[in-house]
Amino acid sequence: MARVSQAHLDARRRQILDGAARCFARNGFHATSMQDVLKETDLSAGAVYRYFSGKDELIGAIVGEVLDVLRETYEGAAVETPPPLPDVLIPRALRQLREVRPGLLESGEWLFPRLMIQAWTEILRNAELARIVRAGYDRVRAAWVRVVESYKSAGLISADADADAMARVMIALAQGYAAQLAVIGDLPSGTLADGLRALMSMRDPRSTV
């Protein structure tokens, strides 16, 4: 029997994950069955179950991949000199996520924002998915903390700034923007960066007294 290459195995796994992501984004986790995934990927049950035991494992793998892309982006930014400011870094993270996972629905809508909102809802009832999301979130947050520490080293923010608090807020900004994309649709190009720059330009009037 001819040996199947790793490249073939990786491509088949990618095919399954991409097909499942389209199904979940289109119909939601609960309304999607494994039969829907088989139809979407045009694969047999045996081919799919070779890689994933069921729907929950598919959901966990998709969410885990998204969090890994974000973590890698922020970890890379933390070692840049000078480190990119949030108005550059957060749009970059979403752009890279879109480049790595560009899946679209039939309408042309990027499916990631819809998946994100569904995942938030699902973790309230799915303990295993909650574990995956929380572990991934902790890794993303740790990467953002390293970015904030690089800001401190570069003299861009106060040395006593709370790195963990800033990391949590930066993550919330990215999540909130993605939620707007899911609910409202595409926003004008540059909206996120422009809004972040405006926030960063604010001055506390009390500091001038």
Residue pLDDT, tens place only, 7-19: 988 999 999 999 9
Confidence class for position 2, pLDDT limits 50, 70, 90: low
Segment 52-81 mean pLDDT: 95
Please say if the pLDDT value at position 1 is more than 50.
no
Rounded CA separation 41/14 (Å): 10
- Residue-wise pLDDT tens digits, 92-136: 999 999 999 899 998 899 999 999 999 888 899 999 999 999 999
Confidence class for position 206, pLDDT limits 50, 70, 90: confident
- Residue-wise pLDDT tens digits, 33-57: 999 999 999 999 999 999 999 999 9
As a whole number of Å, the end-to-end CA separation of the chain is: 80
Domain 54-201 has CATH 3.20.20.60: no
Mean pLDDT of the chain: 92
Please say if the pLDDT value at position 209 is more than 70.
no
Segment 68-82 mean pLDDT: 96
